[in-house]
């Protein structure tokens, strides 16, 4: 996510995702188009604040119906808080979780219906100077993410702010996200230069992105190895030892770029804060890779614990 605001279209890098309309079934195209048209009409008639209230109402309805997901949320919280959450707080946070999840999907679906200035006014990077300073020398930066908040929403809005964005994600992706991203590529020249790589792919394209001034983001709190060559690091989090993926972090250290940590926090009225922490690693302060990885992962895990306990309703890995 470089601050260079060029709108030139760049070809997708080898290894990047480049979905086409053919990737969607006829049913997916028709159903998603129908829902989007209905939401766009609602937006035009009643405004964004009313659409947000509708999303929260719909999320409450899902909370009442989907008992399996409620039970899964309670299981996750029992691992986050010793003894779990009390009954009243658990119900409130679980309901908020459903409402945030529905509103995030709804906003992602209708974002391109908003004027560009209105869309970017709903998003803030805090502190933005921390990211801009990391990019000041022309190299990229790596932001270590966690499964907290909608990363895809932040990625789109950072593109519209002029940053060059790259990410690493799982190979499986929902039809809704593929549908929406096709529309974004048609409307926003900035979005067409976003690069996405599958987890477990070769790292050479990640090295190239960092050399070219991209901001690379990926979630490190993933224990499942998708390829035998993937590097993991054991960290203690929520009282347990877990293996987190460390490959992109190691690439960032070898590329001598600044490593930050970021959390996407939904606010009321479709507003989003991208809160940055760090630096976890500075480009000129890496005498030993293993020591730098251990230090960064330890700080990363401590921050994840802090933010999930502070914002339990924002977790996305349920």
Secondary structure (H, E, C), the chain: CCCCCCCCCCCCCCCECCCCHHHCCHHHHHHHHHHHHHHHHHHHHHCHHHHHHHHHHHHHHHHHHCHHHHHHHHHHHHHHCCCCCCHHHHHHHHHHHHHHHHHHHHHHHHHHHCCHHHHHHCEEEECHHHHHHHCCCCCCEEEEECCECCHHHHHHHHHHCCCCEEEEECCCCCHHHHHHHHHHHHHCHHHHCCEEEECCCCCHHHHHHHHCCCEEEEECCCCCCCCCCCCEEEEEECCEEEEEECHHHHHHHHCCCEEEEEEEEEECCCEEEEEEEEEEECCCCCCCHHHHHHHHHHHHHHHHHHHHHHCHHHECCC
Which is more confident, 35 or 286?
Answer: 35
Q: What domain range includes position 40?
A: 21-314
Q: For residue 79, give both structure tokens.
A: 């691992």
Q: Residue 1 domain-assigned?
A: no
- The total domain count for the chain is 1
Q: Is the pLDDT of residue 264 over 80?
A: yes
The per-residue pLDDT for range 219-260, each reduced to its tens digit, is 998 766 555 566 788 899 998 898 898 889 999 999 999 999
Q: Residue 274 domain-assigned?
A: yes
Rounded-to-integer distance, Cα 119 and Cα 154, Å: 11
In sequence order, the β-bridge partners of residue 275 are 126, 263
Is residue 128 a contact partner of residue 274, using CB atoms and an 8 Å limit? no
Lowest mean pLDDT among 3-12, 34-43, 147-156, 199-208: 3-12
pLDDT number for residue 132: 96
Which is more confident, 242 or 201?
Answer: 242
Q: Residue 255 domain-assigned?
A: yes
Rounded-to-integer distance, Cα 45 and Cα 42, Å: 5
pLDDT number for residue 27: 82
Rounded-to-integer distance, Cα 206 and Cα 15, Å: 10
**Can you tell me the mean pLDDT for 200-224?**
86
Rounded-to-integer distance, Cα 15 and Cα 283, Å: 26
**Consecutive H or E run containing 196:** strand 195-198
Q: Residue 228 domain-assigned?
A: yes
pLDDT number for residue 222: 76
The per-residue pLDDT for range 38-63, each reduced to its tens digit, is 999 999 999 999 999 999 999 999 99
Rounded-to-integer distance, Cα 250 and Cα 19, Å: 28
pLDDT number for residue 225: 57
Q: Residue 8 domain-assigned?
A: no
Mean pLDDT score across all residues of the chain: 86
Confidence band of 196 (pLDDT split at 50, 70, 90): confident
Q: Is the pLDDT of residue 11 over 70?
A: no
pLDDT number for residue 249: 92
pLDDT number for residue 19: 45
pTM, entire model: 0.87
Q: Residue 7 domain-assigned?
A: no
Q: Residue 16 domain-assigned?
A: no
Lowest mean pLDDT among 10-14, 76-80, 107-111: 10-14
The per-residue pLDDT for range 107-149, each reduced to its tens digit, is 999 999 999 999 999 999 999 999 999 999 999 999 999 999 9
**Can you tell me the mean pLDDT for 16-33?**
68
Confidence band of 7 (pLDDT split at 50, 70, 90): very low
Rounded-to-integer distance, Cα 278 and Cα 289, Å: 18
């Amino acid at each position: 996510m470089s601050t260079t605001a060029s709108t030139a279209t760049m070809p997708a890098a080898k290894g990047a995702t480049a979905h086409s309309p053919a990737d969607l079934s006829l049913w997916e195209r028709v159903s998603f188009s129908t829902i989007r048209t209905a939401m766009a009409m609602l937006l035009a008639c009643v405004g964004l604040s009313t659409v947000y209230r509708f999303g929260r109402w719909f999320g409450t309805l899902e909370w009442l119906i989907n008992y399996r997901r409620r039970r899964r949320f309670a299981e996750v919280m029992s691992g986050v808080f010793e003894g779990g959450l009390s009954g009243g707080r658990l119900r409130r946070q679980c309901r908020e979780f459903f409402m945030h999840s529905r509103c995030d999907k709804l906003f992602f679906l209708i974002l391109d219906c908003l004027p560009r200035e209105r869309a970017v006014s709903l998003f803030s990077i805090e502190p933005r100077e921390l990211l801009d300073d990391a990019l000041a020398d022309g190299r990229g930066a790596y932001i270590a993410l966690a499964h907290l908040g909608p990363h895809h929403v932040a990625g789109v809005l950072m593109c519209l702010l002029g940053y060059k964005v790259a990410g690493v994600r799982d190979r499986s992706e929902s039809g809704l996200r593929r549908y929406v991203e096709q529309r974004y590529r048609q409307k926003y020249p900035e979005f067409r230069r976003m690069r996405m790589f599958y987890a477990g792919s070769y790292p050479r394209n990640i090295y190239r992105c960092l050399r070219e001034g991209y901001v690379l983001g990926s979630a490190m709190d993933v224990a499942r190895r998708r390829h035998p060559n993937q590097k993991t690091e054991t960290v203690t989090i929520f009282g347990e030892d877990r293996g987190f993926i460390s490959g992109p972090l190691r690439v960032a250290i070898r590329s001598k770029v600044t490593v930050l940590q970021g959390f996407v926090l939904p606010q009321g009225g479709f507003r989003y804060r991208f809160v940055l922490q760090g630096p976890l690693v500075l480009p000129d302060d890496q005498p030993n890779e293993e020591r730098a990885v251990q230090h960064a992962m330890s700080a990363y895990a401590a921050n994840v614990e802090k933010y999930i306990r502070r914002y339990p309703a924002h977790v996305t890995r349920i």
